[in-house]
Amino acid sequence: MTIPINGFSKLTKEEKISWLADNYFSDIETGIATIKSYWNTDSKLQQLHDEFIENTITNFYLPLGIAPNFLINNRLYSIPMAIEESSVVAAASNAAKFWLSRGGFHAEVISTTKIGQVHFIFKGDNDKLKAFFKVTKSKLIQEASELTRNMEKRGGGILDISLRDKTADMEGYYQLHCSFETLDAMGANFINSCLEQFATTLKKEALSYANFSESEQRIEVIMSILSNYVPECLVKVGVECPVESLFSDPKQSEAFAERFVTAVNIAAIEPYRAVTHNKGIMNGIDAVVVATGNDFRAVEAGVHAYAARNGNYASLSHASLENGVFKFWMELPLALGTVGGLTKLHPLVKLNLDMLGNPTAKDLMMIVATAGLAQNFAALRSLTTTGIQEGHMKMHLGNILSELKATSQERDLVEVHFKNNTISHSAVVDFVNELRKN
Residues in the site for ligand HMG, rule: CB under 6 A? 85, 87-91, 93-94, 97, 276-277, 279-280, 283, 378-380, 382-383, 388, 391-392, 394-395
- Residue 196 and residue 179: Cα distance in Å, rounded? 14
Rg value, the chain, Cα: 27
Cα→Cα distances 317→89, 90, 288, Å: 20, 20, 18
CB of 392 to ligand HMG, least distance (A): 5
Q: How far is CA 314 from the centre of its chain?
A: 18
The SS3 call for residue 41 is: coil
Catalytic position from the list 13, 49, 85, 244? 85
Q: Would you say 366 and 334 are in contact if contact means Cβ atoms under 8 Å apart?
A: no
CB of 160 to ligand HMG, least distance (A): 38
Q: How far is CA 293 from the centre of its chain?
A: 10
CB of 81 to ligand HMG, least distance (A): 11
Percentages helix, strand, coil for the chain (3-state, rounded to 5) are: 50, 20, 30
Nearest Cα to Cα of residue 370 among 285, 280, 302, 268: 285
- Nearer Cβ to ligand HMG (233/282): 282
CB of 220 to ligand HMG, least distance (A): 46
Catalytic position from the list 49, 279, 327, 417? 279
- In sequence order, which residues have a C-beta less than 8 Å from that of residue 347 and are 6 or more positions away? 45, 48
- Nearer Cβ to ligand HMG (280/359): 280
- Nearer Cβ to ligand HMG (113/276): 276
What count of residues does the chain have? 438
Q: Would you say 145 and 153 are in contact if contact means Cβ atoms under 8 Å apart?
A: no
Catalytic position from the list 295, 346, 363, 396? 295
- Residue 190 and residue 348: Cα distance in Å, rounded? 25
Cα→Cα distances 312→72, 122, 161, 248, 272, Å: 31, 33, 29, 38, 11
Catalytic position from the list 114, 362, 392, 396? 392
- Nearer Cβ to ligand HMG (98/133): 98
Cα angle value 357/359/361 (rounded, 5°): 170
- Nearer Cβ to ligand HMG (225/395): 395
Q: How far is CA 419 from the centre of its chain?
A: 35
- Nearer Cβ to ligand HMG (226/378): 378
CB of 73 to ligand HMG, least distance (A): 20
Shortest-Cβ-distance residue relative to ligand HMG: 391
Strand order in the sheet with 106-109: 106-109, 234-242, 325-333, 317-322
List strand residue ranges (DSSP E) for 134-181, in order.
157-165, 173-181
CB of 260 to ligand HMG, least distance (A): 11
Q: Which of left, alpha, beta for 72 (phi over 0: left; psi -120 to 50: alpha)?
A: beta
Helix (H) / strand (E) containing 216: none
295 assigned to active site: yes
Please give the backbone phi and psi of residue 120, each rounded to the nearest 5 degrees, phi first. -140, 165
CA atoms within 13 A on the CB side of 112: 22
CB of 266 to ligand HMG, least distance (A): 10
CB of 95 to ligand HMG, least distance (A): 7
Nearest Cα to Cα of residue 79 among 101, 95, 103: 95
Active site residues: 85, 279, 295, 392
